[in-house]
């Protein structure tokens, strides 16, 4: 037993000796991908399936070791068709994982899509003030509202379900849209680049609706579902309590005041500018390096 252990250590050492920096980089990237995939599935129904697959792999390894030929043959055939079956059954989860990778900061930087244009930033600065003022007024009158702020993930399917407005946001316009007797008040408003793009839009249901608090109404559930299926920020005003909430990445946070709402939207939508002193220091450093 000791001899076998020493042989194993020698084998590992010989392999490490032959590795290059690219091999270590390959291992690091693979480890990150596995970790990222695990984070994506641990809160979904795919998490339990993943545990089942690991259990089957363990049984397969044991069957090969002790020569259980029948079990080994069955598991091999299951694994042969299993990958295709998993891709079909878990197509929504796979799609959502790829979308999340696409709108992650790493993916956006690679595509050069992180920073919005100056014109868009100016529009959002005005829009945020109007959104906050409208939400406070709607909250005071306990008027239900659902405002979806589109970011990198395009919401074409939801936009097509509503009425195209392409209007400049204002508290009066929000008030008219969500007025209880208005034809568009039951749906969601979708905003893009600081403009109201559409109203009366239908949103997807949440992935795990049975786990959501039973006291939450249809607006809050729709907000959670939209934030699960995209990187959108969804603002909800409760019709029962007037409470202002935000759904982001499948999580609902509540009890927003006007100032707290403005601060959160500004943080999410308007990139922070680099302080002038830091920027000038970097420029001086670059000049010295150039000399």
Give the rounded percent of residues in the chain with a pLDDT score beyond 70: 74
- Give mean pLDDT, residues 94-104: 60
Q: Which fold has domain 118-269?
A: YojJ-like (1 (3.40.1700)
| Structure tokens that stand for 48 in this block | 């339990």
Query: What are 20-75's pLDDT values in tens digits?
Result: 888 888 888 888 877 776 766 655 555 666 677 778 888 888 888 888 888 888 88
Residue at token pair 């920096």:
21
Burial annotation 127-143 (CB, 10 A radius, 16+ → b, else e): bbbbbbbbbbbbbeeeb
Q: Specify the pTM.
A: 0.63
3-state secondary structure of 257: coil
The answer to whether the Cα torsion of 160, 165, 166, 171 is positive or negative is: negative
Where exactly are the structural domains of the chain? 2-111, 118-269
């Amino acid at each position: 037993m000791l001899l076998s252990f020493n042989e194993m250590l020698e084998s590992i050492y010989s392999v490490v000796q032959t590795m290059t920096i690219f091999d270590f980089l390959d291992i690091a990237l693979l480890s990150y991908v596995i970790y990222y995939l695990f984070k994506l599935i641990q809160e979904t129904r795919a998490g339990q399936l993943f545990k089942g697959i690991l259990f089957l792999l363990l049984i397969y390894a044991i069957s090969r070791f002790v020569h259980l030929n029948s079990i080994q043959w069955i598991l091999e055939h299951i694994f042969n068709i299993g990958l295709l079956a998993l891709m079909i059954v878990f197509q929504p989860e796979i799609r959502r994982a790829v979308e999340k990778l696409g709108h992650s900061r790493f993916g956006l930087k690679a595509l050069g899509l992180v920073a919005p244009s100056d014109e868009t930033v100016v529009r959002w600065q005005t829009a945020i003030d109007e959104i906050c003022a409208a939400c406070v007024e709607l909250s005071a009158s306990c008027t239900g509202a659902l405002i979806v702020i589109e970011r990198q993930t395009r919401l074409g399917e939801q936009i097509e379900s509503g009425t195209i407005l392409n209007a400049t946001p204002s508290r009066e316009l929000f008030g008219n849209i969500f007025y209880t007797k208005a034809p568009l008040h039951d749906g969601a408003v979708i905003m893009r680049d600081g403009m109201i793009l559409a109203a009366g839009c239908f949103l997807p249901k949440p992935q795990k609706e049975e786990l959501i608090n039973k006291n939450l109404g249809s607006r809050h559930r729709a907000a959670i579902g939209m934030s699960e299926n995209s990187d959108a920020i969804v603002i909800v005003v409760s019709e029962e309590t007037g409470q202002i909430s935000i759904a982001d990445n499948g999580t609902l946070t509540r009890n927003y005041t006007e100032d707290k709402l403005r601060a959160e939207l500004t943080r999410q939508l308007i990139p922070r500018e680099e302080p002038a002193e830091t920027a000038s220091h970097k420029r001086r450093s670059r000049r010295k390096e150039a000399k």
